[in-house]
Amino acid sequence: MKSFLTIGQLSKLSNIHIKALRYYESINILEPTYIDPNNSYRYYSHATVLYVKTIKICADYGIPLKTFRHFINEKNEILMDEILQLAQKIIEEKEQTLKKDKAHIEDFKLQIKLSKQLDQTSHYHMETNDEDYLLIPFEGEMLSDDYYVKINDILTALSLSSAAFNQRVGCYFKRSKDSWIQYLACKIKHFSNHKLENTLCLKGAHVHGEHITKENIIQRINELNTDQDIQEILILETIESPYKFTNPHLELRYFL
């Protein structure tokens, strides 16, 4: 049997545990090339190494192993091209997910970096670049149950539209006569060719930032209006390290 591999050799060459190989056989997606009639030892061809590696790749990316029976025809032949096409499709989808996850992590790291800078000053000048926020009228209290219900409704609607959510939520305050008009604000993917209705675009805006807590929102926005005649304020939930679950900081941006 020098031309064949034992299950132990197959396991070593493919880097797949013997138990996994036996499981593949138990669900009829792996067959030995030869079974010794005297001792029932199973032997495999060298081509089987590539096949079981493909099985493992598919399993690692979430393809149910029992579906492999669909890729074995009535002659017990393996339709490798169809398996590889499916594996490629799954991997490409995973790559897109990983790309998005990586972007989210980078965004969170930038938020933490900004939070540390805001901790050091109350007059921090912020570079806003292209930032768009969808605005929805809101009269409730920020971080209240009603606030989160409305935010979730908006995020659900955004998931069904072309205006992709871009990780940040909060409230926008605009001065009108002697009172503040309040909106929920959800950061959305920037649209370079057109502007959606009811959006706030921060490109080119002169913005300063500082940290506040929920308890002093009203006091602080009134102070900014009285002392500096500030007419627009954006307050966002933020990430910081260490993060305070019971009384987190909020990122206040005011427009000069």
**pLDDT averaged over the chain?**
87
Domain spans of the chain, in order of start: 5-91, 122-255
Strand runs labelled E in the chain: 5-6, 34-35, 42-44, 124-126, 132-137, 165-176, 179-188, 199-201, 207-212, 232-237, 250-255
Between 118 and 9, name the one with better pLDDT: 9
The tens digit of pLDDT for each residue in 185-213 reads 999 886 655 556 688 888 777 889 999 99
Region 124-147 average pLDDT = 88
* pLDDT > 90 in the chain, percent: 43
The helix/strand/coil state of 131 is coil
How sure is the predictor about 244, in pLDDT bands with cuts at 50, 70 and 90? confident
Q: Which pLDDT band holds residue 1 (cuts at 50, 70, 90)?
A: low
Q: What is the DSSP letter of 28?
A: T
Q: pLDDT tens digits, residue range 88-98?
A: 888 898 899 99
User: Which ranges of 119-187 would DSSP assign to H, the alpha helix?
Assistant: 145-159
Any alpha helices (H) in 128-213, and if so which ranges? 145-159
Contacts of 174 (CB under 8 A, 6+ apart): 180, 181, 183, 231, 232
Phi then psi for 111, rounded to 5 degrees?
Answer: -65, -40
CATH topology identical between 5-91 and 122-255: no
Which pLDDT does position 3 carry in this prediction?
A: 81
Rounded-to-integer distance, Cα 77 and Cα 28, Å: 12
Which of 50, 42, 1 shows the shortest CA–CA distance to 18? 42
Report which of 233, 208, 238, 209 is spatially closest to residue 219, judged by C-alpha positions: 233
* Whether pTM exceeds 0.75: no
What does CATH list as the number for 5-91? 1.10.1660.10
Query: What's the confidence (pLDDT) of residue 75?
Result: 80
pLDDT tens readout for residues 13-22? 999 999 999 9
Residue pointed to by tokens 């005297």:
38
Q: Where are the alpha helices (DSSP H) in 119-216?
A: 145-159
Looking at residue 103, its pLDDT comes to 87
More confident residue, 124 or 102: 102
**Residue 49 has what pLDDT?**
93
Q: Which residue has the higher pLDDT, 127 or 14?
A: 14
Q: What is the mean pLDDT of residues 20-46?
A: 91
CATH for 122-255 is 3.20.80.10
**What is the pLDDT at residue 151?**
93
